[in-house]
Amino acid sequence: MIRKIFPFVFSVFAILILCNCDGFKLPEKLFETSARERYEKDFSDSDEVLKQWKINYSSALQSNLKIKDGTAFNFVNDSLKLNAVGYLIELKRGDLLIIETDNLSPENKIFVDIFPETANTENLKSQLTEGGKAQKIIEQEGFHRVVIQPEIALNKNFSIKMYTQPSLGFPVAGKGNRDVQSFWGASRDGGGRSHEGVDIFAKRGTPLVAVTDGFVSRTGNQGLGGKQVWLRDGLLGNSFYYAHLDSIMTTDGKKIKKGDTLGTVGNTGNAAGGATHLHFGIYTSGGAVDPYPFIRKREIPSHLSASNDFKKTKLKSGSEIKISPDSKSETILSLKEETEVQVKSVFTNWVHIKLSDGTEAFVLKTRFK
């Protein structure tokens, strides 16, 4: 009997230790439900309305419509349609994808999902926009699906812009994209190796700054990199390699804040005699990755005017409906007759529509009667 009880007692004791000791705590979010799950649980109106809201969400999860980075559109919404939209967008590892809304009050709930196209959708954790934004650092290259759905009570149109920004700071003070002149994968040593990073050209002595918070894991003067600094982040465990420095201005083990100076641009190591520049690389647990998407600066699009004046719902005969808001994109079908449609969102020159059979597509605004 004692032998049977002991494992149980030991398990309870272990749990108590984990819960009570300062050094060993259960993760706070281990059993936390998503914003969508909490909303559905607390919803007290019609079960049929909630059911349809969930059906529309499931449909958006399967959408294969494609849009590009830096897109702005108006979400057409009313509480009868319970609208939800889903789009595929091609992203690079290291992009910071931002979904930003406008023309809404802070208390309005907008649910957002961002996940790789091939991901299992059974265990998604929808997030709510905060301060009008939802964002996610992209961890794998390829198409990602973005699903946007407002709460049931929201009964107004609003504008959305979907764009990427660098997830890290730029490593050379005062410089930008135009100063990156040698990229990932370029041939080195007559084809004997490929370039595992980017080269950013600047005058000797230009400050080199930390791209993120972390700590200095190593400094030194050796090998191809010459004078070098290795910065390691405390969140993901990635290492950031600064090479060919003229001077090192930090020390091993030092805690670093984003923007702190680590050294200056030079041409030490195998860059000796050449133009002064920083070789910047990123190393993950899986090896080196292309650092350019992590640091590439890019413009932020403007919101479209969130108006409610697009009231047309009938397409002309012969209208071609597309998989993307682009005349050169794949045609899903050509409508043989005038067709009544539901308008789901409005872009600059295109409209996202839904046919009576559930088919969704894009069509030019000029095709409406």
Highest-pLDDT range among 4-8, 104-108, 235-239, 364-368: 364-368
Q: Which parts of 248-308 fold into alpha helices (H)?
A: 292-295
Model pTM score:
0.86
Q: In sequence order, what DSSP letters do the residues of 75-136 get, joined into one string?
A: E---TTTT--EEEEEEE-TTEEEEEEEES--TT--EEEEEEETTS-STT---EE-BTTEEEE
Of 73, 100, 51, the residue nearest 65 (C-alpha): 73
Same topology for domains 177-295 and 310-368, yes or no?
Answer: no
Domain ranges of the chain: 31-168+297-307, 177-295, 310-368
**Quick one: tokens of 272?**
């000796």
Question: Looking at the domain 310-368, which fold is it?
Answer: SH3 type barrels. (2.30.30)
> The tokens 């998503």 sit on which residue?
34
Task: Give the pLDDT of residue 21.
Answer: 44
Over pLDDT 70: what percentage of the chain? 88
CATH 1.20.1250.20 for the 177-295 domain, yes or no: no
Is 31-168+297-307 assigned to CATH 2.60.120.380?
yes
In angstroms, the CA 143 to CA 324 distance is 14
pLDDT of 234 > 50? The answer is yes
For residue 236, the model assigns a pLDDT of 77
Return the closest-CA partner of residue 151 out of 310, 290, 36: 36
In angstroms, the CA 116 to CA 95 distance is 13
pLDDT at residue 20 greater than cutoff 60: no
Collapsing DSSP to helix, strand or coil, 130 comes out as strand
pLDDT computed for residue 12 by the predictor: 46
Assign 311 a pLDDT band (cuts: 50, 70, 90). Answer: confident
pLDDT of 307: 61
**What is the pLDDT at residue 18?**
45
HSE, side-chain direction, 13 A CA sphere, residue 296 = 21
What value, to the nearest 5°, has the Cα angle with vertex 106 and ends 105 and 107? Answer: 90
First to last CA, the chain: 82
**Which comes out higher in pLDDT, residue 45 or 29?**
45
Stretch 176-184: mean pLDDT: 89
